[in-house]
Each structure stands twice: as structure tokens, then as C-alpha cells.
Amino acid sequence: DGGITQSPKYLFRKEGQNVTLSCEQNLNHDAMYWYRQDPGQGLRLIYYSQIVNDFQKGDIAEGYSVSREKKESFPLTVTSAQKNPTAFYLCASRTTGGEKLFFGSGTQLSVL
Amino acid sequence: GIQVEQSPPDLILQEGANSTLRCNFSDSVNNLQWFHQNPWGQLINLFYIPSGTKQNGRLSATTVATERYSLLYISSSQTTDSGVYFCAVGERGFRQTGANNLFFGTGTRLTVIP
């Protein structure tokens, strides 16, 4: 089945630790996105990538980093500089040449 | 960025009832999408509708871009319709260079009771 796979579903971070959230898609989509969702809020854009080896900051990029070495993969690292990392993180991709966004099932990150 | 307001914030319906969800936005848009987030967090794209009207089964949506609002209609609601409905808008289509963000509203939480 084609889709967007995020792992792990739940992740816990200790103080001062970097953690990496995985996002893989087999839809052959060029563009990929990372969003953050806080309770009772809408989604906010962290980073996006339109093609391999290129990515751009979104509205809330501070404390996060990404890479795009393969078309299928767009991992997000939450660094120790992100002081309030507890949130639900959603990865999305966009149909090539299209407008609709499709989402993975999300990763809930919590701080120990 | 564009401000997006959704109403009502919460809605409780009896199974079989109809409902209308509203999305107001503060500026001209060329990209508007409706999403449903189920209780497990999965977001499903319902409509891409920057203008006009579309229908998909029991769901339909209308966007009046000149008046800066969109409506999502749910008819004969079912318990599986429960969740949060988000409206998201963008100033320009994704295909235009640099226009890669959608601004999300805070959603309408729908609960359908049997």
C-alpha cells in the first residue's frame, strides 16, 4: 500500500537530548513537510522540502533540523535547543504538480 | 500570515443530523483545503477547494473566495464522522515558487452520538 509512514508513534526525550522522528513515503511525491500540533491548536509548519538535498524553514524552525538525502525520506531532529518539544508531530507530502496535502499518522513526543 | 477562524469550536450531533462548519479567512487565497482528524490523530484530506462547490458522498464544500469564507456540509452524520475538522488556506498555490505554507485554523471538534 502506498502511503506515509511515521515512526515511532510515541517518543520520550530526556533533558538535553536530541531525538529524531522518521518520515518515509512511497508515493513518489517530491515535496515533504513537517508540522507541529499543540493541544487544541491548528498545525504550524516547521520545515519543508521541495526536492532532494534542499529544504526551507517554516514558521517555527528554531530548535529543529532536517535532512533530505533521499526522495522517500525526510527525518526531523528535535534538538536540545527546542525548550518546549512536547507536541504531536505530523509529516506530510504533496502530489507532484498537485495541491493536496497527505499526512502520516503522527508521532507524539513527550519530555521525561 | 493569513488568519483563519473556524466556527463553531465544538459541535455535538445526534446520529443522522446535518451540520455546517464555517471557515473565515483574512486575505485572498488560492489554496484552501478541508481535513478531518480522527480520534487517533490521522489527518485525511477531504477537499481541495479554493473556489466553487464540490461534493463527495455525504460531504460537500463551498468556497466563496470573494467573501473570504468556506463552508463544509455534513449530511446524515455518522459516529465515524467524529473528530476535528480543519480548514487550511494558502495565499498562492503550492506550484508557485515560495508558496509552500498552509495556515490552519484551530478546528471544529465534532462529536456524533448514537
Shortest Cα distance, chain B CAs vs residue A91, angstroms = 10
Residues of chain B with pLDDT under 50: 97-99
**Which residue type is seen at A23?**
C
List the one residue out of B51, B50, B63, B76 whose CA is nearest residue B22.
B63
Q: How many residues are there in chain A?
A: 112
A41 touches B: beta carbon within 8 Å: yes
| Max CA separation in chain A (angstroms) | 41
pLDDT in tens, A25-53: 999 998 999 999 999 888 999 999 988 99
Counted across chains A and B, CB pairs separated by less than 8 A come out at 61
Q: Are B100 and B94 in contact (CB under 8 A)?
A: yes
pLDDT at B98: 46
Residues A60-85 have pLDDT tens digits of: 999 999 999 999 999 999 999 998 99
Q: Contacts of residue B84 in chain A, CB cutoff 8 Å?
A: none
